Amino acid sequence: MIGRNIHLLSIYSALTQFGGPLSVRLGLLAILNQGPCYGYQLRREFDRRTGSAWPMNIGQVYTTLDRLVRDRYASRMESDGDGQVTYAITDQGRSEVDTWLSSPVVREGASRDELVMKLAIAVTLPGVDIARVIQAQRTATLQLLQSLTRVKNSTTDPTSADELAWLLTIDAMIFAAEGEVRWLDHSEARLVRAVAEGGVEPLPLSGSKVRRGRPVKAAANE
Amino acid sequence: MKFGDGATSVPALVDIDLNVSEGEMVAIMGASGSGKSTLLTVAGGLLPPSSGSVWVDGKNLRECAPRQLSAIRRRTLGFIFQDFNLVPSLNTLENVALPLELDGVRLRKATRIAMEALALVELSEYAGRYPSELSGGQQQRVAIARAVVGGRSLILADEPTGALDSSTSEIVLGMLRDRVDSGASCIIVTHDARHAAWADRIVFIRDGRIVDQARSESPSVLLTRSRPESTP
Ligand SMILES: Nc1ncnc2c1ncn2[C@@H]1O[C@H](COP(=O)(O)OP(=O)(O)OP(=O)(O)O)[C@@H](O)[C@H]1O
Ligand SMILES: [Mg+2]
């Protein structure tokens, strides 16, 4: 019973869980798409665009940046006089960001955080059609909801405890998916209102220099 | 679809191309004022579109004589209005039997069929009550019974679960779903994603335009990978 339901449970946690492992890679890359950043600067930008809901230590930021460089989504630029290393997005990175923003968060393997983080960052970026991001996600979530409903409706009345347990699990997922759609509806309405009340300007990268940077040597050694 | 003329005209529906097949249930979702009820009214021939055409059962409604139109409304079409639209001077049973009687069905037969429809929405005991003596949800179920009575093949439902609790909604949706699975077509307007998910296709409208559609995928992926084998 436990083994058989692993797939369903992964969908369930994707719909309900906050605080699971979160892939911040694309979130950081999307911010980098606005302009080159230092590591500390990138962390600060990420925090201020996501309400500091997923605090990261600087080590995580640099590890992620190193992977982005390795995968050719970002490149390391010349260090300036202060010995700080700047990172810039590549063309390949840019198209990765476009794909991320234009496609819904996939259910398996992702947690609900990823969707929240994505939307939070997306509203701070220039040139992103948020209404489309929301609509694409809503369509995907409704498709999941349709499948779950069909599974539920094709089930005859439970004749054993494990069937009953399974139906309860399906119900829980149905309500969770519905909750997500309602949150998306609400976000859309909030967006419309915000735009009507004078527009939501994208957040520019804050220009001020950050004092602490990654030493050039450490960066070059990796 | 426009409301009004000239300078005061309001476009309510723009470039809508919607085809509903036999055995298909389509849900319409969209914010308040996006044009959902207007779309349903036009689809049901209750309002002629200011341009474009509506086809029901192979007939272009614009080219139908008034007599033909009302025959379609009586026999083919079941409309569930957002505000129920029951006749206040008729009791529950008479309201449900009304479309049959208008269509010339004998009183005794109409009564029998209407009682069956009332049983489906679990209102048999309320047959003699008047609309003013019913709760909002009960009135809504009478309206639903009236719309499906006599095997109508196109059911247009504007928020049919708006006044119903979760389990009563499921009964109503199950009933509509049964009709559709035995060959009827259904368009249902709803704000509730859980109810829209009963449809084969979900159409989103915004400012009178269709902006996206979700089609149900085969649930077999979920089924085969996770359904416990039923104990014999
Ligand atoms: N008879 C009419 N004359 C003028 N404008 C109308 C008329 N009927 C509806 N409208 C307008 O057309 C638009 C669409 O209305 P409609 O009733 O179709 O919305 P809806 O999507 O059903 O909303 P709700 O979810 O609130 O029921 C609205 O802006 C409404 O004000
Ligand atoms: Mg309406």
Chain B 141-200, CB below 8 Å of chain A: which residues? Answer: 174, 177, 192-194, 196-199
* Ligand 1 centroid distance, CA of A188 (Å): 20
Q: Are B66 and B135 in contact (CB under 8 A)?
A: no
Residue B122 zone, left/alpha/beta (φ > 0; ψ -120 to 50; rest) = left
Task: Report the percent of chain A where pLDDT is more than 90.
Answer: 29
Chain A 135-154, CB below 8 Å of chain B: which residues? Answer: 135-136, 138-143, 145-151, 153-154
Tell me the pLDDT tens digit for each residue of A111-157. Answer: 567 888 888 899 899 888 888 899 999 998 999 899 889 888 887 77
Q: Closest-lying ligand to the alpha carbon of B34?
A: 1
Mutation test residue for ligand 1: of B32, B34, B82, B192, the one with most atoms within 8 Å of CB: B34
Q: Is the per-residue pLDDT at B63 higher than 70?
A: yes
How confident is residue B8, by pLDDT bands cut at 50, 70 and 90?
low
**Measured distance CA(A211)–CA(A160) in Å, rounded:** 65
CA A176 to chain B, closest CA, distance in angstroms equals 10
| Closest by CA position to A185, among listed B19, B148, B34 | B34
Closest CB to A7 among B194, B219, B226: B226
Lowest mean pLDDT among A142-156, B70-84, B86-100, B207-221: B207-221
Ligand 1, atom 12: closest residue by C-alpha? B12
Average confidence score pLDDT of chain B: 86
Burial profile B134-158: b = 16 or more Cβ within 10 angstroms, e = fewer: beebbbbbbbbbbbbbbebbbbbbb
Length of chain B: 232
> Model's pTM, two decimal places?
0.79
Residue with tokens 């950043």: A37
Mean pLDDT of B206-219: 82
Closest residue in chain B to residue A186, using alpha carbons only: B31
Tell me the pLDDT tens digit for each residue of B110-132. Answer: 999 999 999 999 999 999 999 99
Q: Is the per-residue pLDDT at A218 higher than 50?
A: no
**Measured distance CA(B204)–CA(B200) in Å, rounded:** 13
| Closest by CA position to A22, among listed A54, A64, A70 | A54
What pLDDT score does A111 carry? Answer: 59
